Structure 1
């Protein structure tokens, strides 16, 4: 086994369930992944904070089960008073970990909010709450889809860290070199916080391509063609996806990454299988 495996910290991302059946599924997923002893779990929200109550409910339940839970918090569409109230509520529930994001406006919503960028949100949290919260920010090894250039995107990332972020989680990727180059470039700008690679298990071809188009993640042509060639053979897609993502994780771990953050999509099977193959 790679000796680096012993020091790898795992974390998992969930989204707030919207139906009683989805609540039950997420609880089962949580219970199946807990033996992997994640450092924390993060919980997303909808555009403009549209699932804010669901995020709070999910985070509180995760915390009660013994997990460190980190809600995603967006500044887009929220006033400083809104943000202050949300953060105070999280604090009252013992939540001490935040994923601070710019976020996206839902369609038809015109108000951006008082804070326009994640760096401003990080500065606001530090000014209002000091070191109460551990703050995660997002990083984009293949460049944020709305950024003017890779350099501009890298400078934005450095700005978030210098505003007070403690660590970062990347958008998912399948090209390890993109991550390595991004980290090297960030270090040259003085960024010294852990940059944890985000990992997306491959279980569904059309879903993967749709997500990747939206977030600007590149699916290598050979991977996309192989997945496309499997057609409706879900077992073949999952088996191939397991091979591809496990190999990616092995390369990352061998290079000494600080952790692996899995985008679970509220399912446990693929994430659990990858971690078992890695010997975690």
Structure 2
């Protein structure tokens, strides 16, 4: 049975509403068959849809797997977080993609550079996640919640934790709302990272 979809919520609204209660999310690979009955049994607070840019992808954004699956999830009443690897798209292509996501009712974007630090694309419009975040804010103001990746174990492109925190600060200043971190780490490393990140959020928000 298909639920009547409520207006898609921002993740900040969901977190504020839930408070200290546990939040459940699932990550969906839109390039594999999606078991919507299983998703209904899990009843997540939101669904995270990954995005793998491929050379043979359709030039029509509506035909991209992440958008197709996201649209169906919204139709079924779920809040959606869409991962987008910015480095693979031009500013024009990205505006079209984000405009369609807005049309579908999606309010949450996981904004990332994508492709790994070894990938080099000449004249890429979004060579850094920070540039992508600034673009979303310039074009769509506060419509989207922007989620970014945090790396307590240090991103491969960073030379040190100090440099990692410099990049994190820039993404926060550019307009990021939420930091999602890696799951595999020591508790001490996570707690130290969280303490530093919270300090920056208090300073720059």
- TM-score range (shorter-chain normalised) is 0.7 to 0.9
Whole-angstrom distance in 2 between the partners of 1:110 and 1:126: 23
Task: Report whether the alignment pairs 1:39 with 2:45.
Answer: yes
Q: Which deviations, in whole Å up to 9, do the C-alpha atoms of 1:200-222 show, x marking residues without a partner?
A: xxxxxxxxxxxxxxxxxxxxxxx
Q: Moved runs in structure 1, 4+ residues, more than 3 A? A: 47-52, 107-112
Task: Report whether the alignment pairs 1:191 with 2:204.
Answer: no
Whole-angstrom distance in 1 between the partners of 2:119 and 2:79: 35
* 8 Å contact kept, 2:152–2:185: no
Larger radius of gyration: 1
* 8 Å contact kept, 1:43–1:59: yes
Structure 2 counterpart of 1:141: 152
Whole-angstrom distance in 1 between the partners of 2:115 and 2:129: 11
Whole-angstrom distance in 2 between the partners of 1:122 and 1:48: 22
Whole-angstrom distance in 1 between the partners of 2:91 and 2:146: 17
Q: Considering only aligned residues, what root-mean-square deviation do their CA atoms show, in Å?
A: 2.7
Structure 2 counterpart of 1:85: 96
Q: Which deviations, in whole Å up to 9, do the C-alpha atoms of 1:118-156 show, x marking residues without a partner?
A: 111111100000011111111011111221111101110
Whole-angstrom distance in 2 between the partners of 1:172 and 1:113: 30
Structure 1 counterpart of 2:87: 76
Whole-angstrom distance in 2 between the partners of 1:49 and 1:61: 24
Structure 1 counterpart of 2:164: 153
Greater relative contact order (Cα < 8 A, sep 6+): 1
Whole-angstrom distance in 1 between the partners of 2:146 and 2:171: 10
Could you list the runs of 5+ residues in structure 1 that have no partner in the other structure?
Answer: 194-280
User: What secondary structure, in the 3-state scheme, does the structure 2 residue paired with 1:7 have?
Assistant: coil
Distance 1:50 1:11, change over 3 A: farther
Q: Which deviations, in whole Å up to 9, do the C-alpha atoms of 1:35-73 show, x marking residues without a partner?
A: xxx332110111469777110011111111111011111
- Provide the TM-score with structure 1 as the length reference: 0.58
Whole-angstrom distance in 1 between the partners of 2:169 and 2:42: 32
Larger helix proportion of the pair? 1
Task: Report whether the alignment pairs 1:7 with 2:21.
Answer: yes
Could you list the runs of 5+ residues in structure 2 that have no partner in the other structure?
Answer: 1-17
* 8 Å contact kept, 1:62–1:68: yes
* 8 Å contact kept, 1:49–1:77: no
Distance 1:42 1:49, change over 3 A: farther
